[in-house]
């Protein structure tokens, strides 16, 4: 499932192609057809990313909502003559010089603005947004008996963090994923928020998850750090810093990774 940096990068890139344009909106697959009719021929005024959600604000006053989930994927055709839809295309957005197809999302709707407001209301702060306030995250974590590893994947606590960032945020702060949230002191919670901000914002800029420092990666300057070397703990066999065998366990229906030495319980 895409993490928050991917959603913000999609919004940034797609906005350059679609915003302020009058769009043809269709549903080649069919299920989205009634929703598409509401905004077909309207101007797309804004694409607003929040956590793992994308909101499309239309000149009609309607708001589109997309959640990619595990299988959702966009395909961009930067041409005025796009090919025939490939596969089960849920939504096709066509501008004068670009077409974007969406396949396999968990959610794809067009509704009244109130539907967006309800979704945003149940989400925690998004660390990528400038001016985001972490108070809700601090309060929920500091009062919870749930593990910090579970809390980081709870979108009502902090929006946009996924499994990779969970492992990396906890690793760089030497926090074991099984520690209860209420056992983390204020300085640790602040460090978690600051680290999440830095990592996710860097992900938007880089267009990928890259959490290791250049010096620790061992990759010479000027060479691209490969994906297999881009993280400290996630999907590694050995800890990048101490060499200990990385531990793995199921947590919140995902595999969590940690170093038993650097992140001792």
Query: Which residues are marked as active site?
Result: 2-3, 52, 254
Are 84 and 133 in contact by the 8 Å Cβ rule? The answer is no
Name the helix (H) or strand (E) containing 103: strand 98-103
Task: Output phi, psi for 89, to 5 deg.
Answer: -80, 115
- Using CA atoms, how far apart are residues 221 and 1, in angstroms rounded to an integer? 31
Q: At what angle do helices 4-18 and 186-206 cross, to 10 degrees?
A: 40
Q: What distance separates the 2 farthest-apart alpha carbons in the chain?
A: 58
Q: Dihedral of CA 171/176/181/183: which sign? A: negative
DSSP category for residue 235? T
- Residues with Cβ within 8 Å of 79's Cβ and at least 6 positions away in sequence, in order, are 97, 98, 99
Q: Is the torsion defined by CA of 163, 164, 165, 168 positive or negative? A: positive
CA neighbor of 159 nearest in space, from 117, 108, 200, 109: 200
CA atoms within 13 A on the CB side of 103: 10
């Amino acid at each position: 499932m895409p993490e928050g940096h991917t959603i913000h990068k999609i919004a940034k890139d797609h906005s350059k192609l679609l915003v302020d344009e009058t769009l043809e909106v269709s549903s080649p697959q069919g299920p989205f057809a009634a929703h598409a009719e509401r905004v077909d021929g309207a101007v797309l005024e804004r694409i607003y990313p929040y956590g793992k959600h994308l909101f499309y604000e239309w000149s009609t006053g309607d708001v589109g909502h997309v959640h990619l989930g595990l299988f959702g994927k966009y395909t961009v055709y930067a041409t005025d003559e796009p090919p025939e839809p490939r596969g089960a295309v849920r939504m096709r957005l066509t501008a004068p010089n670009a077409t974007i197809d969406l396949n396999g999302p968990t959610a794809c709707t067009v509704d009244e603005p109130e539907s967006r407001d309800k979704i945003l209301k149940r989400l925690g702060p998004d660390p990528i947004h400038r001016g985001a306030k972490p108070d809700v995250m601090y309060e929920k974590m500091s009062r919870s008996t749930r593990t910090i590893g579970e809390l980081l994947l709870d979108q009502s606590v902090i929006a946009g963090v996924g499994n990779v960032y969970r492992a990396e945020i906890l690793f760089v702060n030497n926090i074991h994923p099984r520690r209860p949230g209420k056992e983390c002191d204020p300085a640790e919670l602040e460090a978690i928020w600051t680290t999440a901000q830095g990592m996710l914002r860097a992900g938007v800029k880089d267009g990928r998850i890259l959490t290791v420092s250049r010096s620790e990666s061992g990759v010479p300057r000027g060479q691209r750090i490969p994906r297999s070397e881009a993280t400290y703990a996630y999907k590694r066999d050995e800890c990048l810093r101490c060499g200990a065998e990385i531990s793995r366990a199921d947590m919140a229906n995902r595999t969590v990774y940690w170093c038993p030495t650097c992140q001792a319980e």
